Amino acid sequence: MAITRSSLGLAKASKSLAAAACGALALAALLAWRRARRARRWPPGSFGWPLIGQTIEYMKDPGAFRISRHAEHGGTFKTSLLFSPTVLISPIEANGKFFFSLKALGWPYWFKLVIGETALPMIEDPMHKRIRTLNGRAFIDAQLDSYLPQLQELTAKHLNLWAAGKRGQGQPCDLYFDIKLYAFDMAQTVILGVDMPVERADRLMRLFTTVTSGLKALIHVEIPGLLWHKVMSCRRQLVGEYQEVINTRREQLRLGSKPTSMLDIMLTADDVNGDVELQDFCIAMVFAGHDTTLATMQSTLYWLSKQPAVLAELRQEVLEAWDGSSQLTRETLGKVPKVRAFIQEVWRMTPPVVIASRRLEEESVIDGYVVPKGWKVNYSAALVGQKAEQPNEFRMGRYLDSSGHFVDQTFEPWNFGAFGGGSRMCVGYKFARDEMLVFMIQLLRHFSFTVASAQAVKFPFNYWRVSGTFSNCL
Ligand code: HEM
């Protein structure tokens, strides 16, 4: 067969076409390989010491630990905390959505022994779904409205006690235990429906304080002399006390008493599996509900004391919204948008719970990094708070629109992280806000105070511990 010039040219052209195609394929393969290699990289950061990793440094100041490493690594980073490899993800919206879709919890196993094997914050599906629905009945709007008179009464009682006591005589005192007793009294009265003498409430509160100190314990064997032994023995006493409350309320309900408290709602539900679930309900709700409120109240006094002009503005708003004696209602709470905005800014600046934690049930790619199955993933309210414009400035105006209406960001956990999000979002957030509003409205209407000193507390809750004085003013 004769070979013509044109068929030679055709052969040459198809050869170079094939070479170009091969080159393109090789380049694509190289790029895919590089992408895959990049994606297989674990996040930057260091695990620290064997076993304890960077736990000690973390416990000193979890917020600063996160913020400094986040800045150092330009976002998501790995570390090792509480005996587990952990990734702290940067708080961009996509990560927030991914994080809050995760179901498995990342808390260390001993948290469950402290708070309760069937306690809502410690359990996973399908039990979580059942108990969450059950517990959620205590926080529906009609129930929340019914708690307001008790909140108002207890708040008046405690604020008057502070003003009449040592701190009312011009001598600055540490307010921690006064505020803790108030937050604890509210939690016990509204959650458990018991009106205890102050001495018994105080004793239970101290038992509770020891029990929750178990969250920080790094050795978990019950040997006399070790913290864990004390923690477990106080927990058994607390369970005994709450079982007594359960028995009494159960009997009163049987005799026709009207259900009022959160515990009553549980006692009258038919899908509770035995008394351990009820005991864990009491411990979990009082635990989740009182230290967080205590932390917020102290930080509130701190931030108010730093801004006398804002304090005066809020006082004026309260004077216009409430006559100082009538029953506080949902309507009254709706008339103080600046107070609401102030509380939300306190939670942004000083989130009481700085971390939410989950466990990866399968290998995942986060921010382009591979995170292996079984690792913990943490999402930090402290980092979310830093996303705001000029994050270190306290500005309640962030949460007021141009008409002065309150802008609620509770359901945007990538912009406001204090209550977490998704199916494990704080079940008590509306109740917490009611407690804070009732506290601030009465505080601003009737009392004046000074903060003589404040100390930043970082773990296990984040807040300003304040010392000061208190007096009736209006
Ligand atoms: C100042 C107030 C409070 C703050 C800042 C706060 C914050 C939080 C956070 C960050 C979570 C974890 C969310 C997550 O893992 O995604 C949570 C869970 C929870 N909170 Fe709160 N909380 C507050 C008050 C309360 C109150 C007053 C109660 C109850 C009376 C309560 C009950 C709970 C419970 C039961 C959970 C576990 C929910 C679940 O796992 O389904 N909290 N809270």
- pLDDT tens digits for range 46-67: 999 988 899 888 888 888 888 8
Q: Which atom belonging to ligand 1 lies closest to the Cα atom of 122?
A: 40
CA 349 to chain centre: 13
**Residues of the chain under the 50 pLDDT cut:** 1-3, 39
Q: Which atom belonging to ligand 1 lies closest to the Cα atom of 296?
A: 1
Q: Amino acid identity, residue 327?
A: Q
Alpha carbons 400 and 370: distance in angstroms, whole number: 40
Quote the pLDDT of residue 2: 45
Q: Which atom belonging to ligand 1 lies closest to the Cα atom of 100?
A: 16
Q: Is the ipTM of this complex over 0.90?
A: yes
Question: Mutual orientation of helices 198-213 and 275-306 as an angle, nearest 10°?
Answer: 90
Contact 250, 282 (CB under 8 A): no
Task: Provide the token pair at 424.
Answer: 């494990």
Task: For residue 465, give the 3-state DSSP assignment.
Answer: strand
The 3-state secondary structure of 338-381, one letter per residue: HHHHHHHHHHHHCCCCCEEEEECCCCEEECCEEECCCCEEEEEH
Quote the pLDDT of residue 52: 87
Identify whether 330 is part of a domain: yes
Identify whether 94 is part of a domain: yes
Quote the number of domains for the chain. 1
Closest CA to 63 of 377, 355, 390, 376: 355
Task: Provide the token pair at 144.
Answer: 């929340």
Contact 104, 359 (CB under 8 A): yes
Alpha carbons 52 and 83: distance in angstroms, whole number: 5
Identify whether 172 is part of a domain: yes
Alpha carbons 265 and 133: distance in angstroms, whole number: 12
310 CA distance to ligand 1 middle (Å): 28
User: Residue 75 sits in a domain of what CATH number?
Assistant: 1.10.630.10
406 CA distance to ligand 1 middle (Å): 22
DSSP 73-106: HTS-EEEEETTEEEEE----HHHHHHHTT--SB-
| Residue ranges making up the domain that contains 103 | 55-472
- Degrees (nearest 5) of the Cα angle 136, 421, 381? 125
Quote the pLDDT of residue 1: 43
- Degrees (nearest 5) of the Cα angle 39, 41, 43? 110
Identify whether 18 is part of a domain: no
443 CA distance to ligand 1 middle (Å): 24
User: Among 416, 426, 427, which is best to mutate for testing ligand 1, by the most ligand atoms less than 8 A from CB?
Assistant: 426
285 CA distance to ligand 1 middle (Å): 9
What are the percentages of helix, strand and coil residues in the chain, rounded to 5? Answer: 60, 10, 30
Which residue, judged by its Cα, is nearest atom 31 of ligand 1?
428
284 CA distance to ligand 1 middle (Å): 10
H or E segment and range at residue 234 = helix 227-254
Question: Which residues' Cβ are closer than 6 Å to ligand 1?
Answer: 120-121, 132, 284-285, 288-289, 292-293, 296, 352-353, 356, 418-421, 424-428, 431-432
What is the value of pTM for the model shown? 0.88
Task: For residue 56, give the 3-state DSSP assignment.
Answer: helix
Identify whether 9 is part of a domain: no
Count CA atoms within 13 Å of residue 53 on its CB side: 17
Identify whether 47 is part of a domain: no
**Which burial class, exposed, middle or buried, applies to 441 when counting CB atoms under 10 A from its CB (0-12, 13-18, 19+)?**
buried
Is 426 annotated to bind a ligand? Reply is: yes
135 CA distance to ligand 1 middle (Å): 12
H runs (alpha helix) in 270-364: 275-306, 308-321, 330-333, 337-349
Which residue shows structure tokens 């009732």? 438
